[in-house]
Structure 1
Amino acid sequence: MSERRRKFSPQFKAEAVQMVLETGRPIAEVARDLGINEGTLGNWVNVWRRENPEPEPELTPVERVRVKEMEDEIRRLRMENEFLKKSSGLLRPDAPVAERCALIQAEKATYPIAFMCALLGVPRSTYYAWAERAAGPQTATAARRAMLAEQIQLEFTASRSTSGCRRIAAALNQRGIDASVGLVADLMRELGLRAVQPRAYKRTTVPGEQPVPAADLLGRDFTAAAPGQRLVGDITYLRTGQGWLYLAVVLDLATRMVVGWQLAPHMRTSLVTDALTMAIDAGHVQPDAIFHSDRGTQYTSAEFAAFTEAHRIRRSLGRTGVCWDNAAAESFFATLKNEMYHRHIFPTRAKARFAVAEYIEVFYNRKRLHSTLGYRTPFQALTDYRATAPAAA
């Protein structure tokens, strides 16, 4: 099966450039996270910089010193905030000294030891004495548990505190580290690691006023034989300090990959057609594909009907008010809000947009293991299909 040349929407290009400019990360690193060519992303960044020049005013030597001091202070505060946020998720408020020392030991490659000791209220002499005892002679079992505990901590941190024992065990086994779910669960309890917990579901669909003659073509069968054949979509609300922001997504049932998405401060039909256009332009929608949604006003509108007909897409609609008829899309929104949105406060729509783009394109599509896919990432599932499709043909 020949792979189509990828097309990127203006929105995707803008979000990719923003990831480089906002985070200061190297272009190569961001390109690798997004699964695109380094040179392509570099061209986008250069075009943006040419079109948005930022003249830098000359600073006096005194001003340069002050700027350097402010940058150092901001860097220190960010590191402190990051470490305190991490430690609060890993340690109980009344955690004993041994657990605090264990956290310092696990994070010593990331943060200065003196810095962590001061924040956790552990004298440095106490930590070094604990570390010396911990480094003493160990049995083979104790050494293996210590090694596994370190790897579990790394996987838990890499998953942004979202992975439970099953997903972490799967990740370790994929790396060639044998570990049962039960053993991982025991060690996670010892380390005080708990994945973020989901919140209650809230229905937000606004049903269309006119009945639409479109059947439910999925019947709650959220599987697909190949990518691009069966897609689902939905809209969710995100609160920011500047007001509501609305997110529409298109999810491929074969790979569970978010193949199209759009954010806007409105809920007009263009919100969902733009998300579907992104999926079409990227080659993720096959002719006569099924697109399933709820009966929200955007999906039952004449404008959306004309759009799907023009692109040879068959519409499928679940019943009004029955979230299980679109459970795959609802599940994705629950995951996004649980793992990212509810853990932050967004003062502006721009901050929320950046966070959503990074979560979808970098973490969810390319790093998060999905139980439905046999603990693969959506991007892995897509890659595996493309690798085996020619042989099957």
Structure 2
Amino acid sequence: MRKRVFTEKEQAQLKGNPHVQAVSDKAITYSDAFKRLFLTENEKGKVPRTIFEEAGLDIEIIGLKRIQSAGKRWRAAYREHGAEGLQDTRKTSSGRPLERELSVEEKISRLEAQNQLLRAENELLKKPRSTRKADVEEETKLVAKQKFQLIQQMIEKYQLKRLVRYLCEMIGVSRSGYYHYFHEKSAQKRAAHDAADEEVRDIILKAYSFRRRKKGARQIKMTLENQYGITYNLKRIRRIMKKFNIFCPIRKANPYRRMAKATHEHRTCPNLLQRQFKQGVAGKVLLTDITYLTYAHGKRAYLSTIKDAETNEILAYEVSDKITLDIALNTLHQLKRNHSHVVKDAFIHSDQGFHYTNPQFQKLVKKMKLGQSMSRRGNGWDNAPQESFFGHLKDEMDLKGCGTLNDVKREVKSYMIYYNHYRGQWNLKRMPPARYRQHLLQFA
């Protein structure tokens, strides 16, 4: 539908209004002050017709469709360009890009802005945020809001208000997105969102510090569910941890380490396990091994454990400052005293270390009516769950704070309680080992 043409009498009447700059037979040019007034009143809830009437403009002459179209156009211009978008630039701009030669001052200001923006962007990219591979790959790029904040910092620091378009193009974001990000309503939404995130952060930190053991996102999720009855999506936990720089140290794999390809079994103790760690019965497959614990300026203690391969529960352990045969024998004695739920056809699996090939150890195993199985020589994969446990233990224990062997024993005891009764495991239906054992016995 074509727009209504204004008569000379109507044009004269419209020109008499202080809010009108110019009128032709087909168009009206309003003052910048009226456009700002319109947006302010419209934000308060007034409809466009009421705003025009209160400004003394004749609705019958202008027409409702023309009023609605003007309001829509002004709101869009303000969202995209801010107050600058409301200015009438038809007399000063032909709509074509400026082709004049930039002055020396303008070139210097642009180069300075570009250099400072790139430096700030590089600094943000260098900040350590996470050790997860997925997060590291994601952080090679800045998200849009970080770029908007960088642009604003550069504009405020170097007085570059006229270079918004240039800075946005240089860093790869839209100018409309920049203005929208700093619009009052957007800022209010972000503030409300940040306040909600801070509440979640405080809850996550409770789980993160639970029993003095730092945790990653999955451990936090399981701790919240098991200890506090709170369920959060794993992605939400990771987002909050990344936002507030909450990190858990994660072991890095040694790229130079290679497992020996070994096939030689022990002559008297064959490999009964054959890496079938999960056999559906608690107390059947028992894994054992010894590791060292470094504390107090290079001192060493030794830890021997027996682990239930089905539930991952540590059934017995011994800490000593000597790596003699006694450490392995004492671990077996503890197993005999503390755990009567070991099944009849249970067997204990180890490597071919001298503790486990010793006749005394083998005699005690037989006396306890256990079978004995051994890994192939030099092949750590044959006892992988036990090796994995030692890795987590060394990551999560505070051995640096131990000054004596008794301190080490107290720390190991504290960790064993935490590991067996509080530390959920993803593959155990997110339960701690002791609770998972009860779950299996309940449905046995």
Q: Say whether 1:264 aligns with 2:320.
A: yes
TM-score normalised over the length of structure 2: 0.51
| Matched-pair contact (CA < 8 Å) for 2:213–2:397 | no
Q: Secondary structure at the match of 1:315?
A: strand
CA–CA separation in structure 1 for the residues paired with 2:252 and 2:411:
19
CA–CA separation in structure 1 for the residues paired with 2:267 and 2:401:
38
- In the alignment, structure 1 segments of 5+ residues that lack a partner are 1-88, 92-135, 204-209
Match of 2:373 in 1: 316
| Matched-pair contact (CA < 8 Å) for 1:257–1:365 | yes
Shift in Å, 1:246: 1.3
Shift in Å, 1:357: 1.3
Match of 1:375 in 2: 430
Shift in Å, 1:160: 3.3
Alignment-mate amino acid for residue 215 of structure 2: S
Match of 1:198 in 2: 251
Shift in Å, 1:189: 1.0
CA–CA separation in structure 2 for the residues paired with 1:200 and 1:141:
37
* Aligned residue pairs, count: 253
The one-character-per-residue Cα deviations of 1:206-257 (angstroms, maximum 9, x if unpaired) are xxxx954211122122213222111101001123449432110000112111
Shift in Å, 1:285: 2.4
Match of 1:158 in 2: 210
Match of 2:86 in 1: none
| Matched-pair contact (CA < 8 Å) for 2:214–2:396 | yes
Change beyond 3 A, Cα 1:357–1:381: same
Alignment-mate amino acid for residue 385 of structure 1: L
CA–CA separation in structure 2 for the residues paired with 1:178 and 1:243:
42
Alignment-mate amino acid for residue 319 of structure 1: R
CA–CA separation in structure 1 for the residues paired with 2:303 and 2:400:
17
| Matched-pair contact (CA < 8 Å) for 2:219–2:423 | no
Q: Secondary structure at the match of 1:299?
A: helix
The one-character-per-residue Cα deviations of 1:90-141 (angstroms, maximum 9, x if unpaired) are 99xxxxxxxxxxxxxxxxxxxxxxxxxxxxxxxxxxxxxxxxxxxx999875
CA–CA separation in structure 2 for the residues paired with 1:349 and 1:271:
15
Match of 1:325 in 2: 382
CA–CA separation in structure 1 for the residues paired with 2:129 and 2:252:
20
| Matched-pair contact (CA < 8 Å) for 1:279–1:285 | no
CA–CA separation in structure 1 for the residues paired with 2:381 and 2:211:
27
| Matched-pair contact (CA < 8 Å) for 2:266–2:376 | no
Match of 1:146 in 2: 198
Matches within 5 A, 1:293-372: 293-341=350-398, 344-361=400-417, 363-372=418-427
Alignment-mate amino acid for residue 403 of structure 2: P
| Matched-pair contact (CA < 8 Å) for 2:223–2:423 | no
| Matched-pair contact (CA < 8 Å) for 1:251–1:258 | yes
The equivalent position to 1:222 in structure 2, one of 255, 277, 293, is: 277
Q: Secondary structure at the match of 2:307?
A: strand
Match of 2:332 in 1: 276
Shift in Å, 1:199: 5.4
Change beyond 3 A, Cα 1:173–1:263: closer
Higher relative contact order (CA 8 A, sep 6+): 1
Q: Say whether 1:286 aligns with 2:338.
A: no
Q: Secondary structure at the match of 1:224?
A: coil
Matches within 5 A, 1:91-106: none
Change beyond 3 A, Cα 1:211–1:166: closer
| Matched-pair contact (CA < 8 Å) for 2:266–2:352 | no
| Matched-pair contact (CA < 8 Å) for 1:161–1:196 | no
Change beyond 3 A, Cα 1:167–1:319: same
Q: Secondary structure at the match of 1:167?
A: helix
CA–CA separation in structure 2 for the residues paired with 1:353 and 1:200:
28
Identity %: 26
Q: Say whether 1:184 aligns with 2:211.
A: no
The answer to which of 246-255 and 212-221 deviates more is 212-221
CA–CA separation in structure 2 for the residues paired with 1:154 and 1:276:
37
Alignment-mate amino acid for residue 180 of structure 1: N
The equivalent position to 1:248 in structure 2, one of 296, 304, 311, is: 304
Q: Secondary structure at the match of 2:356?
A: coil
The answer to which of 183-192 and 172-181 deviates more is 172-181
Q: Secondary structure at the match of 1:178?
A: coil
- In the alignment, structure 2 segments of 5+ residues that lack a partner are 1-127, 131-187, 259-264
CA–CA separation in structure 1 for the residues paired with 2:194 and 2:252:
37
